[in-house]
Amino acid sequence: MIAVRSTWLDATYVKVREAGRIVSVAVTIAVGVNADGRREVLGMAVGSSEAETFWLDFLRSLKRRGLAGVKLVISDAHEGLKAAVTRVLRATSQRCRVHFARNALAPAGKSQRRIVSAWIGTAYAEADAEGAKRQWRTVADQLRPKVPKLAALMDSAEEDVLAYMAFPAAHRSKLHSTNPIERRNGEIKRRTDVVGIFPNAEAVVRLVGALLLEQSDEWATQRSRYMTLETVAAVSDTGALRLGAVPA
Query: What pLDDT does 15 receive?
Result: 95
Query: What pLDDT does 2 receive?
Result: 47
Phi/psi zone of residue 37: left (φ > 0), alpha (ψ -120 to 50 degrees), beta? left
Neighbours of 173 (CB within 10 A): 10
Residues 30-68 as b/e (b if ≥16 CB within 10 A, e otherwise) read bbbbbbbbbbbbbbbbbbeebebebbbebbebbeebebe
- CA dihedral (239, 40, 52, 66) in degrees, to 10, reads -40
Query: What pLDDT does 237 receive?
Result: 60
Residue predicted with more confidence, 52 or 246: 52
Percent of the chain beyond pLDDT 70? Answer: 91
Q: How many angstroms separate the CA atoms of 27 and 17, rounded?
A: 15
Q: What is the pTM of this model?
A: 0.85
Query: What pLDDT does 232 receive?
Result: 75
Give yes or no for residue 131 having a pLDDT over 90. Answer: yes
Overall fold of domain 2-96+177-233: Nucleotidyltransferase; domain 5 (3.30.420)
- Beta partners for residue 37, in sequence order: none
Q: How many angstroms separate the CA atoms of 204 and 15, rounded?
A: 9
Give yes or no for residue 238 having a pLDDT over 70. Answer: no
Using alpha carbons only, give the angle 211, 188, 85 rounded to the nearest 5 degrees.
90
Query: What pLDDT does 243 receive?
Result: 47
Average pLDDT, the chain: 88
Mean pLDDT of the 100-121 span: 87
Query: What pLDDT does 129 receive?
Result: 96
Q: How confident is the model at residue 154 (pLDDT cuts 50, 70, 90)?
A: very high
Helix (H) / strand (E) element for 112: namely: none
Give yes or no for residue 136 having a pLDDT over 90. Answer: yes
Query: What pLDDT does 133 receive?
Result: 97
Maximum Cα–Cα distance for the chain, whole Å? Answer: 57
Query: What pLDDT does 176 receive?
Result: 93
Mean pLDDT of the 100-114 span: 85
Mean pLDDT of the 109-129 span: 91
Contacts from 217-225 at CB under 8 Å and sequence distance 24+?
219/38, 219/39, 219/40, 219/41, 220/38, 220/40, 222/38, 225/36, 225/37, 225/38
> Of the segments 46-60, 120-134, 164-178, 215-229, which one has the largest average pLDDT value?
120-134
- Per-residue pLDDT of 25-42, as tens digits, reads 999 999 999 888 889 999
Query: What pLDDT does 240 receive?
Result: 42
Query: What pLDDT does 225 receive?
Result: 87
- Per-residue pLDDT of 47-90, as tens digits, reads 877 788 999 999 999 999 999 889 999 998 777 899 999 999 99
Give yes or no for residue 178 having a pLDDT over 80. Answer: yes
Give yes or no for residue 241 having a pLDDT over 50. Answer: no
Domain ranges of the chain: 2-96+177-233, 97-159
